[in-house]
Amino acid sequence: MQTQTSQTETVQLPQTLEPRNPGMELDLDWVMRATANRSAIERRAATLPKRRSVKKAYQAAWLCRAITCIDLTTLAGDDTAGRVKRLCAKARQPVRGDLLAALGMDGLTVGAVCVYHDMVETAVDALAGSGIPVAAVSTGFPAGLSPFHLRVAEIEESVKAGAAEIDIVISRRHVLTGDWTALYDEMKAFRAACGEAHVKAILATGELGTLQNVARASLVCMMAGADFIKTSTGKESVNATLPVSLVMIRAIRDYFEQTGYRVGYKPAGGISKAKDALVYLAMMKEELGDRWVQNDLFRFGASSLLGDIERQLEHHVTGAYSASWRHAAG
C-alpha cells in the first residue's frame, strides 16, 4: 500500500521529461514562409467553445489537470510580501483539503507562482520544499522598453534570487518592422542570460498587428531557444484569444516536426472561468496531442481562474455551488 501511495503522489508532481529546446540558426526562408489564413483560423476557433463539454467525473479530472498547469500570478503595483506569501500558501494547497480527499487528489499543486523580481526571494522562501518553481517576469515587463543591458541584468538578478523560470517580453517593434534578425539576437541573449532557468517568451500578441506576425514571431523565438512561447503580459487591451492560440500552437507543431524539440505554450490574460480552461485543454489535446497537456509544456497565466475551478470542483463533490467570494482570487 505504501508503494502505491508513493507512486500516486509522484505522478501529481510537475514532471520535466523533455530535453530543452537548444534553438537553431535563424532560418529566414522558413520564417517568411509562415502565413496565417485568418478566416480559416477564426472558423476553427469558433467551433471549440460550442462543443459539448466533458461532464461529471471527466470534467473534475480535467479541472484537476488544469490546476496543475496554472502559473498562479500576482503582478500588481501594490504587491506586498504578505500577499505573495498568501499566494504561495494557495499554490501549495490550491483546493480545500476535504475536496481533494474526496477526489483522491491529495498533494495536488499548481504549476508555478509568478511574481515581479522584487518578490522572487519571498516566494522562493515561502515555497521551500514544495517542488513548486518560482517564475519571474523580466526584461522591463510589461513594455520591454528599458535599456537592453538592464533587461539582461534583470534576468540575471532574478535567476540569482532563485527564479527557476523567467517570463521575458520581446521588443514588439522588431516584429512590426520585420526585423527578424534583431528579434532573434535579442531572444538568444535573453536565453543565454537565463542559464538553467527556463525562458518563456511573451509575444504581446495584441500589439503585433496580424496573425502572420504572430506566426513569424513564434518561430523566431523558438529558433532562438525559447522553452515556452506565451501570448500576453495580461496588461494589453487584447490578451489570449483562441485564434491567436491556434496560430501559436501550430507554429509549435511545425517547429517540433522540423527539429524534434517540443516547445511549451502559455496563454495568459482573460482566462478566468473553468469552462475556458477546458476549451484550451481540449484545443491543446486535439492540435498537439496528450503530451502537451502536461505542465512542463502547457501553462495558464492566471490570477482568478483557480477560484472558479475550485467552485466547480466543490459542486462536483457536494452538489452545491458556494458563493464566489468564499474562494481566494488566487
What is the full DSSP assignment across 183-235?
A: HHHHHHHHHHHHTTSEEEEE--GGGS-SHHHHHHHHHHHHHTT-SEEE---S-
Q: What angle separates helix 56-68 from helix 305-318, to the nearest 10 degrees?
A: 150
Query: CA–CA separation, 125 vs 114, rounded Å?
Result: 14
- The model's pLDDT over 147-170, given as tens digits with 9 standing for 90+, comes to 999 999 999 999 999 999 999 999
- Residue 322 has a pLDDT of 73
What dihedral angle (degrees, nearest 10) is formed by the CA atoms of 153, 140, 198, 34? -120
In a 3-state reduction of DSSP, which class is residue 243?
Answer: helix
285 in catalytic set: no
- Residue 4 has a pLDDT of 42
In a 3-state reduction of DSSP, which class is residue 129?
Answer: coil
- Residue 17 has a pLDDT of 65
pLDDT at 12 over 70: no
266 in catalytic set: yes
**Mean pLDDT throughout 212-237?**
96
Query: CA–CA separation, 29 vs 281, rounded Å?
Result: 32
**Mean pLDDT throughout 88-103?**
95
Which CB contacts under 8 angstroms, 24+ apart, belong to 312-315? 312/59, 312/60, 312/63, 312/274, 313/60, 313/63, 313/64, 313/95, 313/99, 313/103, 314/96, 314/99
Domain 26-318 is found in CATH 3.40.50.150: no
What does the radius of gyration of the chain's CA atoms come to, in whole angstroms? 19
227 in catalytic set: no
Of the two residues 5 and 216, the one the predictor is more confident about is 216
pLDDT band at 329 (very low <50, low <70, confident <90, very high): low
**Mean pLDDT throughout 254-268?**
97
- Residue 154 has a pLDDT of 97
- Residue 324 has a pLDDT of 64
**Mean pLDDT throughout 51-60?**
88
Q: Which of 71, 90, 167, 188 is catalytic?
A: 167
Q: Which of 71, 188, 266, 296 is catalytic?
A: 266
Of the two residues 81 and 16, the one the predictor is more confident about is 81
**What is the dihedral sign for C-alpha 218, 224, 227, 233?**
negative
**Mean pLDDT throughout 70-96?**
95
Q: Which of 90, 188, 200, 230 is catalytic?
A: 230
- Looking at the chain, the whole-number percentage of residues with pLDDT higher than 90 is 85
pLDDT at 233 over 70: yes
User: Nearest-5° angle of CA 295, CA 142, CA 196?
Assistant: 45
